[in-house]
């Protein structure tokens, strides 16, 4: 987030010289990503914000050097955006997950990836390699259950809404690494460096004993069915951490009908006490050596099952011996066809997975060009399924001709389609690149494109953030492309957040990655439902043209804070909705809890970069009673009697010296003002005031605004 704001990275460049860091004389030449060795540990600091071929090439050079370096025994990677996240789902780095970490796991020296961005702690393990991935969210923001979209992922063992730090202890001589995570709690539950997690990786320990499926299948079974695993055993002192059951209709497990992948603990979601920062262990009391297949969740037929166990040193056992069983009496009918991709290079293998088919000997999967009719046109390629109800049809050689295609699932050597068609594209991977992140209103937006398929009537469309191309959502502007590479200029765009996308053949099929940019400085229009609120009253904010990033947020600040920082009154996320409204409630991270003058503004992506206009509003005290005892405000300013009669004096009493008093109409017009009171009492005469509602502003050490009613 150091790149946000007017200073950008300049203040950091002046103090840190990260571009001087190198490993084996391999340097990135910049301060975005770098590597350094400490003892026998190599730390690889990745940039999740500067993905691309340059960083990938640098990372491969680092890994090649580390492979030949006997002084490096452990490798730890770090990045801002994490590998996975169970809150604000999807707000991760897909480049780290799909490109960088797979390169790192090729080394048996690699142990762990550390991410941030989310302000909590989580720890998980990669399924098929002995590597941890954590989020070490160090403070600064509140992030609790119920604040965002949430999902329980298999590869995350625990998500705790604690602010944490880790201590990693490396024993160079014995090949042991121990990690402990300490919590300082949060705003609801402060902790004094309490250990909330510990894990380890010890090299050269034996893996667990091969388990077994203990069921004896002599006759067909009806569902539900519980698969029983043997007891966990090992020659080490390690305990059971994870079990994995695989159930398939194919003996080689090429298609998985059911998978049960569980850790002995699964900390996810609220614990039910109402405290948003206490997490529940969903697997408490669950025997993970057993797996139950519920009724009517798989079809009738022969199935194969195997399982394996993983200890807390991340070592997997061998797979158990395979057992088979027959299911009868199950009622399931939902044929499905799924492709492994939606975009393929020419001659790239295409995998079409089918499930719950009729099981006829000549059921088949066929591939056709878009627009072709299977009943009158010969398929591009086809595969018979040989009586299998589930499996994968492999089109190994792919398709040589670029274009749009679809795959269909057909019954019994005929043309009856028993599942929805799956459309896909074959051709080069197009790349769009704007020449800037931001353009002025009235300026020319320049989009460069390369490696396009250049099919007939391909086009580049410009869309507002959040819009999905289609007949109901026309583009803001567009242009046909007639070459595989080139430049397109777009003018006349009003302020807003946009993306450019490559679309095929006069249609709305998008290929490649979107290219994002904005037009104008302050783009988002923000407004609220009232100019004046009473204490505790809900505030409804509405907006158009937000950036559409999941961690955009609305901040409320006192008017005295003119440069936004962490001294906000409250903050509210709204799931990156580009146009909509949000009602802010409650006194904790919600509406202001004291009277005064405030403003609301929208920020983008967990930063203090303002993307909207500021909206000012006032919060006043509730109507006070008729005597001094019950007319006292939270801040020790008294207004009485209230309601008052015309001509009747109103008394003001303050625990602080009064500097100034202002009387305003309900519309905000200043009716009376007195300065330099220099007393803690004042008498306000109401003889000329008609009946109605007024506001009295009392300036002391703080500003108090009270509502006065004249009856």
> Which CATH number belongs to the domain containing residue 463 in this structure?
2.60.40.2840
Token digits of residue 680: 């803690």
383 and 452 share a domain? no
Give the domain-ending residue among 472, 492, 519.
519
Phi and psi at residue 672, to the nearest 5°: -160, 145
Cα atoms in the 13 Å half-sphere on the side-chain side of 619: 21
The verdict on residue 145 lying in a domain is: yes
The verdict on residue 466 lying in a domain is: yes
Give the domain-ending residue among 301, 327, 353.
327
Cβ distance 91 to 550 under 8 Å? yes
416 and 478 share a domain? no
Structural domain of 579? 525-619
Sheet order of strands, 486-490 included: 431-434, 445-450, 486-490
Cβ distance 574 to 553 under 8 Å? yes
Cβ distance 395 to 413 under 8 Å? no
86-105 exposure pattern, b = at least 16 Cβ within 10 A, e = fewer: bbbeebbbebbbebbbebbb
278 and 367 share a domain? no
The verdict on residue 308 lying in a domain is: yes
Q: Please spell the DSSP secondary structure of 576-604, one letter per residue.
A: T-SSEEEEE-STTTTS-SS-EEEEEEEES
The verdict on residue 391 lying in a domain is: yes
DSSP state of 647: T
Q: Express as a percent the part of the chain with pLDDT over 70.
A: 95
3-state secondary structure string across 60-109: HHHHHHHHCCCCCCEEEEECCCCCCCCECCCCCCHHHHHHHHHHHCCCCC
91 and 189 share a domain? yes
Please provide the distance, in angstroms rounded to a whole number, between the alpha carbons at the two ends of the chain: 54
The verdict on residue 603 lying in a domain is: yes
The verdict on residue 154 lying in a domain is: yes
The verdict on residue 211 lying in a domain is: no
Cα atoms in the 13 Å half-sphere on the side-chain side of 339: 24
Q: Is 645 left (phi over 0), alpha (psi -120 to 50) or beta?
A: beta
608 and 686 share a domain? no
358 and 323 share a domain? no
How far is 699 from 676, CA to CA, in rounded Å?
A: 10
194 and 65 share a domain? yes
3-state secondary structure string across 11-61: HHHCCCCHHHCCECCECCCCCCCEEEEECCEEEEECCCCCCCHHHHHHHHH
How far is 425 from 404, CA to CA, in rounded Å?
A: 5
Domain count, the chain: 6
58 and 45 share a domain? yes
Omega of the bond leading into 224 within 30 degrees of 0 (cis)? yes
Give the domain-ending residue among 519, 538, 572.
519
558 and 489 share a domain? no
> Which CATH number belongs to the domain containing residue 689 in this structure?
2.60.40.3080
Cβ distance 664 to 693 under 8 Å? no
275 and 346 share a domain? no
What parts of the chain have a pLDDT lower than 50?
A: 623-635
Query: What pLDDT shows up at residue 502?
Result: 97
Cβ distance 427 to 402 under 8 Å? yes
Query: What pLDDT shows up at residue 8?
Result: 66
Dump pLDDT digits (tens) for 4-14: 666 666 777 77
The verdict on residue 217 lying in a domain is: no
**CB neighbourhood size of 436 (10 A):** 11
The continuous run of DSSP H or E covering 281 comes out as: strand 279-281
17 and 112 share a domain? yes
Query: What pLDDT shows up at residue 305?
Result: 98
Token digits of residue 489: 């200029």
Cα atoms in the 13 Å half-sphere on the side-chain side of 116: 19
282 and 368 share a domain? no
């Amino acid at each position: 987030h150091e790149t946000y704001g007017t200073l950008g990275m300049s203040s950091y460049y002046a103090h840190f010289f990260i571009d001087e860091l190198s490993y084996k004389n391999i340097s990135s030449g910049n301060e975005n990503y770098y590597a350094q060795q400490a003892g026998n540990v190599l730390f690889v600091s990745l940039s999740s914000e500067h993905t691309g071929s340059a960083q990938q090439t640098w990372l491969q050079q680092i890994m090649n050097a580390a492979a030949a370096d006997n002084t490096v025994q452990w490798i730890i990677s770090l990045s801002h955006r994490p590998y996975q996240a169970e809150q604000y789902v999807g707000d991760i780095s897909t480049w780290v997950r799909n490109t960088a970490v797979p390169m790192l796991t090729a080394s048996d020296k690699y142990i762990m990836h550390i991410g941030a961005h989310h302000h909590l702690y989580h720890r998980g393990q990669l399924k098929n390699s002995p590597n941890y991935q954590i989020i070490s969210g160090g403070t600064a923001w509140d992030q609790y259950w119920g604040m965002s979209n949430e999902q329980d992922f298999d590869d995350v063992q625990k998500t705790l809404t604690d602010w944490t730090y880790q201590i990693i202890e490396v024993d160079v001589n014995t090949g042991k690494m121990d990690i402990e995570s300490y919590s300082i709690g949060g705003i609801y539950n402060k902790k004094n460096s309490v250990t909330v997690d510990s894990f380890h990786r010890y090299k050269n320990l034996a893996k667990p004993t091969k388990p077994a499926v203990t069921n004896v299948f002599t006759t067909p079974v009806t569902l539900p069915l519980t698969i029983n695993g043997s007891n966990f055993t090992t020659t080490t002192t390690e305990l059971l951490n994870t079990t994995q059951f695989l159930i398939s209709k194919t003996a080689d497990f090429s298609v998985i009908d059911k998978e049960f992948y569980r850790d002995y603990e699964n900390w996810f979601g609220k614990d039910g006490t109402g405290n948003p920062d206490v997490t529940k262990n969903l697997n408490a009391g669950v025997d993970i050596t057993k797996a139950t297949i519920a009724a009517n969740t798989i079809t009738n037929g022969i199935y194969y099952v195997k399982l394996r166990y993983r200890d807390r040193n991340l070592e997997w056992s061998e797979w158990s011996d395979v057992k088979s069983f027959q299911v009868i009496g199950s009622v399931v009918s939902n044929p499905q066809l799924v492709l492994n991709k939606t975009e393929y290079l020419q001659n790239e293998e295409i995998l079409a997975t089918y499930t719950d088919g009729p099981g006829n000997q000549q059921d088949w999967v066929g591939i056709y060009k878009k627009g072709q009719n299977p009943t009158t046109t010969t398929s591009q390629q086809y595969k018979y399924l040989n009586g299998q109800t589930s499996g994968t049809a492999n089109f190994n050689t792919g398709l040589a001709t670029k274009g749009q295609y679809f795959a269909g699932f057909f019954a019994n050597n005929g043309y009856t389609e028993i599942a929805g068609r799956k459309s896909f594209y074959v051709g080069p991977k197009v790349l769009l690149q704007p020449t800037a992140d931001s353009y002025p209103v009235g300026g020319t937006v320049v989009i460069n494109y390369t490696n396009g398929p250049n099919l007939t009537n391909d086009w580049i469309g410009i869309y507002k953030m959040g819009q999905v191309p289609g007949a109901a959502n026309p583009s803001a502007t567009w242009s046909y492309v007639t070459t595989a590479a080139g430049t397109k200029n777009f003018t006349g765009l009003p302020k807003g957040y946009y993306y450019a996308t490559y679309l095929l053949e006069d249609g709305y099929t998008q290929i490649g990655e979107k290219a994002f940019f904005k037009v104008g400085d302050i783009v988002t229009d923000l407004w609220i439902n009232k100019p004046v609120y009473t204490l505790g009253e809900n505030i409804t904010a509405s907006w158009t043209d937000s950036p559409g990033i999941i961690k955009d947020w609305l901040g409320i600040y006192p008017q005295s804070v003119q440069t936004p920082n962490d001294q906000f009154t409250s903050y509210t996320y709204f799931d990156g909705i580009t146009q909509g409204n949000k009602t802010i409630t409650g006194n904790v991270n919600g509406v202001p809890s004291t009277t005064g003058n405030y403003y609301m503004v929208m920020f983008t992506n967990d930063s203090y970069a303002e993307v909207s206009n500021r909206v000012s509003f006032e919060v006043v005290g509730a109507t006070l009673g008729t005597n001094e005892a019950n007319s006292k405000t939270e801040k020790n300013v008294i207004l009485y009697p209230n309601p008052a009669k015309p001509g009747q004096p109103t008394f003001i009493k303050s625990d602080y010296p009064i500097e100034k008093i202002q009387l305003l109409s309900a519309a905000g017009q200043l009716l009376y003002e007195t300065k330099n009171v220099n007393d803690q009492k004042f008498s306000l005469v109401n003889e000329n005031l008609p009946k109605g509602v007024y506001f009295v502003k009392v300036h002391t050490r703080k500003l108090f605004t009270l509502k006065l009613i004249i009856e």
